[in-house]
Chain A
Amino acid sequence: MAEEKSTSDCSCNADKVVNIRLMNIICYVKHFARLVAFFVFLATGCAHSPVQTASTVSAGDVSSPPQVTEVVSASLTSPAEIPDKPENKSNGDEEYPDDIKDEQTATIADPLEPFNRAMYHFNDKLYFWMLKPVAQGYSSVVPEPARVSVKNFFSNLGFPIRFLSCLLQADFRGASTELGRFGINTIWGIGGLMDPAANKELDLQKQDTDLGLTLASYGVGHGFYIVWPVLGPSSPRDSVDIIGESFLYPVSYINPWYYWLSVRSSEVVNATSLRIGDYESLQKAAIDPYVAFRDAYIQYRLKKVKGRNQSPEKAKPQDK
């Protein structure tokens, strides 16, 4: 009897030890990833400007040698944003809006292209083989309003990152908007499940910012292109946001690790379920999806940087 008890105690202890070791390993991996990202950022990220006008390669060009630092060009204006003004088309030059005539190029170096391509394919398979089927199953069970509420809930939890980013950018109006949004959505939005703050009457819109954009506002360039496994496209500068998130996103503090993993997975599956098809359509339209996603990423980030740096008044003339 005593032997049985001691055996069960032993197995219990062994389980605990395994759990503790697993938690330690995850902690080490987390810290290691933060350190690597930090050093990569220090070593390379600061040197680059967010906008370069150096030699450019078109989005569809895939023949550039990967060992050479590659500069990718992308138009800042997507076709969807081009305003339709048929009355102004008097000659060939005026067929295109001013935005296109004054085309600026968004570029990003890609010295890690072989690694990035491998990670892109890994993420692609992860999406098609695991994430998409799970998200499809989830969306067939959970109605869209409920999924939007879950998305709102996690978005509300991201308040500390946005609030701190606004403060660090000296955007006090944005910070107060975020604070107001958080208070209203938490109290009257049932813990953030709903978003009354964004309603017409209150009009407190979410501040689309993060720590990467904060660094950009200080003039830090994005550095080179990097595709993180699972997390997707990024740059050394924008990877700072991944580190910041591990400190400022409340979900990061969930213990034990398997609860944290479950919550994070639910968040990702829920978010994916709301945009199934976006990835596929962009991928289908591209000759080389890797390059297309790289362009899309840098366009997207540069647009955000411009959006943060320009006040609405300044932005208006460009939006004509």
Chain B
Amino acid sequence: MFQGTSAAAGLFGPLQTVSRDAGGLNTAIGYWYHEDKIKNGSEYIIRQNEVYSQVSYGGNSRWEIYGRIGVADLKIFDAFSSTNAATNISSSSDFTENWKFFGTLGAKGFLPINKILGIGTFFQGTYYFNNFTGDAAGTNAGAPFTADLKVHNMWDVNFGIGFQATVPYGIKLYAGPYIYYSEAKACLSANIPGIGFGRENVLLKNKTIAGGFIGTDIPLAKGFHLNIEGQYSERFSVGAAISYTY
């Protein structure tokens, strides 16, 4: 029944590195609100909040590699909804789990067309180190039950290309399409009739593989930059980061 999930990719960031031309570090702290809609037989909405710290190294205004470490929660709406009349869920029908650690690695390259425009590409992968677990409780044919749903081995990869324009005050505007793939395994601690999970692992994948992103990078004072970005696939996701260039 439940056939898909999608991990939060996080901000892709400006296509051109904010590091110094001679090569240098930049660090950032970011927040990302992610929503996606999964439709495969039934429709589910997934929601994640993600807070992370990032360190990047780039140079020549052409390339950058970066790593992130952060925490994310996970909510899957109606994950425990039952299709069997004999199964009643007394707890929340949503799967909810609090902050778990994740790590992201990425790289990007940028080719200036002229002083204003440029084209860039990026690749980004995320892995969640911890399992997400949530409880469901209720009755089946009058007999009470409790079961844990475990979502584990969650990861995603993203690849995109985009155009960037540098406007006055050094503000960068960027947009483009991206493709992504994410998967996770899920298993329930007991077989409950009417709930779409069992004791065997179920492979969860994203339904839609493509989306679009748009964002801006605004230079602030004293080496700080504000980056705001939105992504749309099945649902709209948005986030912001503040970076500091060494």
Contacts and interface: CB of A to CB of B under 8 A. Distances in A.
Contacts of B244: 184, 188, 196
Contact of B222 (A187, A191, A201): A201
A151 to B, nearest CB: 17
Contacts of A199: 223, 246
Contacts of B222: 201-202
Given A196-B244, A199-B223, A187 B25 contact: no
B29 interface: yes
A145 to B, nearest CB: 11
B27 A190 contact: yes
Nearest to A202: B222
A186 B223 CA distance: 16
A194 B28 CA distance: 13
A196 B246 contact: yes
Interface string B222-244: 11000000000000000000111
Contact of A189 (B27, B242, B243): B27
Interface in B6-34: 25, 27-29
Interface residues of A, number: 11
Interface string A182-214: 001001111100101001011000000000000
B82 interface: no
Contacts of A196: 27, 223, 244, 246
A-B pairs, 8 with minimum CB distance: A188-B244, A201-B222, A188-B27, A201-B223, A187-B29, A202-B222, A196-B244, A190-B55
6 contacts: A184-B244, A188-B28, A188-B242, A194-B246, A196-B246, A202-B222
Interface of B: 25, 27-29, 53, 55, 222-223, 242-244, 246
Interface of A: 184, 187-191, 194, 196, 199, 201-202
Given A188-B29, A202-B223, 8 more contacts: A184-B244, A187-B29, A188-B27, A190-B27, A190-B55, A196-B223, A196-B246, A199-B223
